[in-house]
Each structure stands twice: as structure tokens, then as C-alpha cells.
Amino acid sequence: MLDRTAHEALVAAVGPENVISDPVQLRSYECDGLTGFRQVPSLVVLPHTTEDVAQAVRACHRHGVPFVARGAGTGLSGGAMPVADGVVISLQRMREIVDIDPVDRRAVLQPGVTNLDITKAAAAHGLYYAPDPSSQQVCTIGGNVAENSGGAHCLKYGFTTNHVLSMTVVLPDGEIVTLGGDTGEQLGPDLRGVVIGSEGTLGIACDITVRLLRTPETVRTLLADFPSVTAAGDVVSDLIAAGIVPAAVEMMDNLAIQAAEKAVGAGYTLTTPAALVVELDGPESECETQFDEVRAICDRHGCTRLHIAETAAERARIWKGRKAAFAAVGRISPDYIVQDGVVPRTQLAEVLSRIEGMGRNAGLRVANVFHAGDGNLHPLVLFDEDAGELERAEELSTDIAELCVELGGSLSGEHGIGTDKACSMPRMFGEADLSTMDRVRAAFDPRHLCNPGKLLPTPRLCGEQPGRYRPHPLEEAGVIERL
């Protein structure tokens, strides 16, 4: 519980009509998209302006109350999970598109604007906002900034960090600063780039200025079936080797296809072991030449069916199947865990066959649907809790994430560390790496009030003993050195 003076200060900061303290209503804020971690907050405040946010944060700072920013709550790593005796600062009422500037091609947004609404507003000018997480209909630009979100088209266009020019940030003591500027030029070190992807631990992003791109002239999309996951993986390698940078390359294995077909009937082949969605975009003349190359590469690897979207509606249908895959897995399994890891692109075949073996050993099915072009896997571990499979599933899922690190990759490509993977961080980073990150955090938030307990391992979450240092696999391979 908040003490009375803290409570009053927060109510005064945003106004009583923008505060939720009813226990029943508070419960709807107890978790994000990763519903296994829950904590009911003491209070939720819903500011309307940057100044409101600053007032609320100042009140928290003055009274030593921890706070957690929250966008749409679609995060998948427990990043927006509240903190015990803490406050949630929900940005859902800050949904104004402040400005769309078609000349300098940028948009200024309040943090609660949804990702897709940016593109909707820019479309009238022939512009769009490139990063496109699958959750784009609901997730907020503030949440995207915090997670450095990506999406299917980030292979060619980059992630959130490559598209944010500047933002006002309410620092953990309530001061409002601007990070970044009107161009890529910087006044000293790039703090904007540090805050993007910091999972809400360094401050609250408010007015966010993003770059808008011109809508590409042509988009070409194909759906190709392959006799094996390995063959599909080889296509990805060959595309890259051929110097083609597709807008997107997505892979689905048979389980994922079955699930997606059951859910949305997007015209995928139910029996195929693997399918790729390849999309090219750009000037028409470039696109056509490269599209022919893509088809040739698909054929070379035994493509069994090649479906080219001839209309926008057909393209949308292919994407619907892909984007529905996560949720659709619920149709073929009572429970499932979404994992998120990255491997170097040349390790795709290796990681997939190892995952298959690990699944077999654990007696669990793993569906794979992922951003193949940048090696970002989303293995879905299927299990039945009623059959007592939860623990095995969790173990398998964790092992898969750590396998990615072992193969020279990363614990997370887009969902973040949050609460979920904080304790796995020592697998990827050594003590000195983590303590350096902690120093940076202390520079922003010396009192540990801003989304505490997330991202970096803490003794409370992970046990008192700091993780014994294990050499990074790349270190063992002599690729990187420590000392």
C-alpha cells in the first residue's frame, strides 16, 4: 500500500478523475502479455500531458515510490508488470498525433498512439512508419520505444531505434529533457539510443518524433513451400548471399502452418513441412529483377509450390496467416510458451534441428514461426498444463533461448528481457558487462524507482549468489576475448 501522503501527492499530480485505486479495476493492470507474472499495483495514474507525467513522477520521486510505465500491455517479457507497493503510469490517455509533417517527413506522437495509427495518419501523404510489430494494431509507440520493437519488415528497414529522431523523456526524478534532435546530428553521446530499448527503466518517453518513409512503389510477395525446414533455411542463406535484401523473409514450419490454417484459412499448404513468405519492395524495375532471382533460388532448393500474390488482397491474406500464427497455436495445444531468441543467420538450420531434437527428448512439440531473414526465432513450446507438462515446457523454452546464446546469438530479438529473462542475462553477459549497464542505470535513476527489478538480474529475483561467470561461447571459440 502507498502511504497516505504519497497517494494524495499522486492524486494531486494528475487529478482525481485520472486515478484508479479500486482494487477490482487495479487487477486489470496486474500483468502484461506475459500473464504468468502478476502483481497488482497500489495505484494507477492516467496522465494526459507530458507535464502530468512529470508531476506524477516527481511525486513518486519525492515519496520514494517505484513506478512502472505502461502502454498497451502487449509486452511479452513482463516489462510492464507492476512493482509491489508501486504505481503504474499508464499512457493510454496520451493518444494524440501531435503533428504529421509531410515536408520534413516526420510525425510527432504522444506515447499512447498505436503503431498502426501512425501509418494510418501518414498514409494520406504517401508516407508510412516502417517498424511493424505483429501487435501493431494495439501496441503503443511508447512501448515500441521502450522495447526497441521490430517486425517483419525490419530486415530491410531497421528497428524502432533507427526511426526515432527525438523524444521528450521524463527522467526518474521528474525532469523533462529532450533526447535526440531534428536530424541525426548529436550534441554529445547518443542518450536517445540508450533510452530506446531500455524497457522503461531509464525514464518515460513522452512526445516522440519519428521518421516517416515514402510508401514503396511496388510490393511483391510470395509464399513458397519446401520439403524441409532445412531447405527453407538454405533459401534464406542463398538470398542473403545473392545480395538481395528482401523487405521480409518469414518462415513457418508445419505445426505453425496447421495452427494458422485452422485459425484463419490463409491458403497455406497443410501438409508442407515448411513455408517461406518472401516480400520485396521498392522501385518497380528493381523489384521485378530481384523477384525473378528469388523464384530461381526457391526452385533450386526444391520448392514444391510457389504462390505469388497478384493482388493486395492476396498479399494481405498471406500476411494474415503469418501474423495469426502466435495466437493460432492455441488451437492445436491447450497451452504454449512463446520464446524469442536470435542466432546468426548461418546457424538457422543448426538451431532448428537442435530444437527439434530437444523437443523430442522433452516429449513436447515445438512450432516454429519466425523472422528468418534476421535469424530471430519464435519457437512456440506446446504443452498441456493439466497433464503436468508445465515445468518441462518452461525448461525446454529456457534451454532454447540459451541455445541461441551458445550459437553466438542473443537471448532476445524483440520481446526484451523484462522480468522474464533477467536471470538468464548472465548467460549472455559477464559480470563486468552487467555492472557497466547497472552504472548507466544508476546515472539515470540513482534511487531505483523507475521500473525496478527488470532487465538486469537482481538477487531478489535470481537468488543471492551472483551468477558465477561462465565464458561466453564466442570467447571459448576464440572469436571474442575478455582478458
Ligand X SMILES: Cc1cc2nc3c(=O)[nH]c(=O)nc-3n(C[C@H](O)[C@H](O)[C@H](O)COP(=O)(O)OP(=O)(O)OC[C@H]3O[C@@H](n4cnc5c(N)ncnc54)[C@H](O)[C@@H]3O)c2cc1C
Which uninterrupted H or E stretch holds 239?
helix 229-241
Binding mask of the shown chain, residues 185 to 204, with x at each position contacting ligand X by CB under 6 A: --------------xx---x
Q: Which option in ligand X, another protein, none does residue 79 bind, with CB closer than 5 to 8 A by kind?
A: ligand X
Among 66, 82, 133, 373, binds ligand X (CB under 6 A): 133
Residue-wise DSSP of 105-174: TEEEE-TTSBHHHHHHHHGGGTEE-----TTTTT-BHHHHHHHT---TTHHHH--GGGTEEEEEEE-TTS
Give me the helix-helix angle, 4-14 and 50-63, nearest 10°: 170
Q: For residues 285 and 361, which CB has a smaller minimum distance to another protein in the complex?
A: 285
Provide the minimum distance between the beta carbon of 76 and another protein in the complex, in angstroms, as a whole number.
7
Q: Is 111 in the site for ligand X (CB under 6 A)?
A: yes
Beta bridge partners of 307: 223
- Give the separation between CA 302 and CA 324, rounded to whole angstroms: 27
Provide the minimum distance between the beta carbon of 354 and ligand X in the complex, in angstroms, as a whole number.
24
The per-residue b/e assignment along 186-218, b for 16 or more CB within 10 angstroms, e otherwise, is: eeeeebbbbbbbbbbbbbbbbbbbbbbeeebee
Among 117, 147, 279, 420, binds ligand X (CB under 6 A): 147
Q: Is 118 in the site for ligand X (CB under 6 A)?
A: no
Q: For residues 67 and 383, which CB has a smaller minimum distance to ligand X in the complex?
A: 67
**Interacting residues with ligand X between 402 and 461 (CB under 6 A):** 414-415, 451
- Give the separation between CA 58 and CA 178, rounded to whole angstroms: 17
The alpha carbons of the chain give a radius of gyration, in whole angstroms, of: 23
**Interacting residues with ligand X between 46 and 85 (CB under 6 A):** 68-76, 79-80
**Interacting residues with ligand X between 317 and 336 (CB under 6 A):** 326
Provide the minimum distance between the beta carbon of 4 and another protein in the complex, in angstroms, as a whole number.
18
Q: For residues 106 and 317, which CB has a smaller minimum distance to another protein in the complex?
A: 106
Among 151, 172, 180, 341, binds ligand X (CB under 6 A): 151
Q: For residues 208 and 287, which CB has a smaller minimum distance to ligand X in the complex?
A: 208
Q: For residues 111 and 408, which CB has a smaller minimum distance to another protein in the complex?
A: 408
Nearest CA among 113, 81, 83, 84 for reference residue 100: 113
Q: For residues 198 and 272, which CB has a smaller minimum distance to another protein in the complex?
A: 198
Provide the minimum distance between the beta carbon of 322 and ligand X in the complex, in angstroms, as a whole number.
10
Residue-wise DSSP of 287-354: HHHHHHHHHHHHHHTT-SEEEE--SHHHHHHHHHHHHHHHHHGGGT-SEEEE--EE--GGGHHHHHHH
Provide the minimum distance between the beta carbon of 213 and another protein in the complex, in angstroms, as a whole number.
9
Q: For residues 96 and 394, which CB has a smaller minimum distance to another protein in the complex?
A: 394
Q: Which option in another protein, ligand X, none does residue 126 bind, with CB closer than 5 to 8 A by kind?
A: another protein
HSE-CB at 446 with a 13 A cutoff on CA atoms is 2
Provide the minimum distance between the beta carbon of 399 and another protein in the complex, in angstroms, as a whole number.
9
Contacting residues for 285 by C-beta, under 8 A, at least 6 apart: none
Q: Which option in ligand X, another protein, none does residue 247 bind, with CB closer than 5 to 8 A by kind?
A: none
- Give the separation between CA 377 and CA 379, rounded to whole angstroms: 6
Q: Which residues bind ligand X (CB under 6 A)?
A: 32-33, 68-76, 79-80, 91, 111, 133-135, 139-140, 142-144, 146-147, 149-151, 199-200, 204-205, 326, 414-415, 451
